[in-house]
Structure 1
Amino acid sequence: MHRIGFLLSEGFQIMTLAPQSVFEHANLTAGQDFYKLENFSPEGGEVRSSLHIPVGTRALRGRIDIDTWIVAGVNDPLIEPPPPKILTFLRKAAPRARRIAGICTGAFVLAAAGLLAQRRATTHWFYGREMQKRFPDIRVEEDRIYIVDGPIWTSAGMTAGLDLALAMVEKDLGADIARSVAHKLVMHQRRAGGQSQHSEMLDLAPKSDRIQNALNYARQNLHGSLTVEELAERVHLSPRQFSRVFTLETGQSPAKAIEGLRLEAARLMIEQSRHPLEVIARETGFRDRRHLREAFMRGFGIPPQAVRREARGEQRLA
Structure 2
Amino acid sequence: MLSARRILIVAYDDSQILDVACPSGALDLANRHGADPPYEIELGTVGRAPARSSAGIALGACRSLEEVAGPLDTLLVAGGGGYARAAADTRLVTQVRRLARASRRVASVCTGAYVLAAAGLLDHRRATTHWRYGAELAARHPAVAVDTAPLYIRDGNVYTAAGVTSALDLTLSLIEDDHGPTLARAVARELVSYLHRPADQAQISMFLAAPPPGDRLVRDLAVHIAAHLAEDLSPAALAARAGVSTRHLTRLFAAHLGTTPARAVRAARTEAAAHLVRSSALPLAAIARRCGFGSAQTLRQAFLDAYGVSGDTMRKMPDMPRPRAGSRRQTPGA
Task: Return the TM-score normalized by structure 1.
Answer: 0.84
Aligned residues of 1:282 and 1:288 also touching (Cα < 8 A): no
Quote the residue 2:272 is aligned against: 265
Cα distance, 1:171 vs. partner?
1.1
Quote the residue 2:99 is aligned against: 93
Deviations 1:141-187, CA, capped at 9 Å, x for gaps: 20211111111011112111111111111111111111111111111
Quote the residue 1:17 is aligned against: 20
Hey, what's the Cα distance between the residues in 2 that align with 1:146 and 1:84? 26
CA 1:126–1:295 in structure 2 vs 1: closer, same or farther (change >3 Å)? same
User: Secondary structure of 2:87's match?
Assistant: coil
CA RMSD of aligned residues (A): 2.9
Deviations 1:32-53, CA, capped at 9 Å, x for gaps: 6701111111222322222343
Determine whether 1:184 maps to 2:190: yes
CA 1:112–1:252 in structure 2 vs 1: closer, same or farther (change >3 Å)? farther
Comparing 243-252 with 67-76, which one deviates more in the overlay? 243-252
Cα distance, 1:188 vs. partner?
1.3
Quote the residue 2:327 is aligned against: none
**Identical pairs, percent:** 34
Cα distance, 1:87 vs. partner?
1.8
Cα distance, 1:249 vs. partner?
3.7
Unaligned 5+ segments in structure 2 are: 321-334
Determine whether 1:39 maps to 2:43: yes
Hey, what's the Cα distance between the residues in 2 that align with 1:74 and 1:288? 40
Within the candidate set 236, 244, 249, 1:237 is matched to 244
Cα distance, 1:120 vs. partner?
1.4
Quote the residue 1:315 is aligned against: none
CA 1:88–1:253 in structure 2 vs 1: closer, same or farther (change >3 Å)? same
Aligned residues of 2:270 and 2:302 also touching (Cα < 8 A): no
The residue identity in structure 1 corresponding to 2:49 is: G
Quote the residue 1:248 is aligned against: 255
Alignment length, in residue pairs? 308
Task: Return the TM-score normalized by structure 2.
Answer: 0.80
The residue identity in structure 2 corresponding to 1:14 is: I
Determine whether 1:295 maps to 2:306: yes
Hey, what's the Cα distance between the residues in 2 that align with 1:104 and 1:118? 19
CA 1:173–1:59 in structure 2 vs 1: closer, same or farther (change >3 Å)? same
The residue identity in structure 2 corresponding to 1:123 is: T
CA 1:98–1:187 in structure 2 vs 1: closer, same or farther (change >3 Å)? same
Determine whether 1:70 maps to 2:76: yes
Aligned residues of 1:143 and 1:196 also touching (Cα < 8 A): yes
